[in-house]
Amino acid sequence: MPTADWQLAIRDAVVGDQPVIVEFNRLLALETEQKILDPSVLTRGVEKALGDPRRLRYWLAVARFSDTATAIGQTAVSYEWSDWRDGWIWWLQSVYVRPQFRGQGVFKALYRHVCREAKAQGDVVGIRLYVENENRHAQETYASLGMKPGGYLVLEDYQMDG
């Protein structure tokens, strides 16, 4: 837990944030799925996202101390068009908060910021995310913000070579 007084700010990520986003994503994969990501693939993926926010848009939570500022959390959204709802669904992903700042409202601030941004767009009809089945703490956090299970099971296929 931080010992100094600090203030929280949420801002759009910029190209110069690539190293911290790569590191947060690396830590996220290791912590939640025990996956070691290929650094070159991860770096390229983050670089492409930062270069084109229509692909994936990142926000950073920044702790401002008396004389410094440091990134302490992040989230991103990707986009899904819903013909059923005639609007966009924003998918939260890459949610990460440094361990020493957890439980202090960092994700709550990120989530509320994303919700405000979504409402301002005028054509966003909902926000979704997926969470690991075993990650009960994260599920409780999301529920405390009003999120509910969507009633879907996520299936996947990453073997796109045939």
At 5 the pLDDT is 86
For residue 114, give every residue at least 6 positions away whose Cβ sits within 8 Å of its Cβ, in sequence order, or none: 59, 75, 77, 90, 92, 127
Of 3-12, 35-44, 140-149, 153-162, give the lowest mean pLDDT range: 153-162
Model-level pTM? 0.91
Among 37, 15, 34, 13, which Cα is nearest to 26's? 37
> CB within 8 A of 85, min separation 6: which ones?
125, 126
Would you state the pLDDT for residue 3? 53
pLDDT tens digit string along 115-124? 999 999 999 9
Dig out the tokens for 104 from the structure: 């202090």
How confident is the model over 133-143, as a mean pLDDT? 92
Q: What is the pLDDT of residue 66?
A: 84
* Fold classification of 7-144 (topology level): Aminopeptidase (3.40.630)
Strand, coil or helix: what is 75?
strand
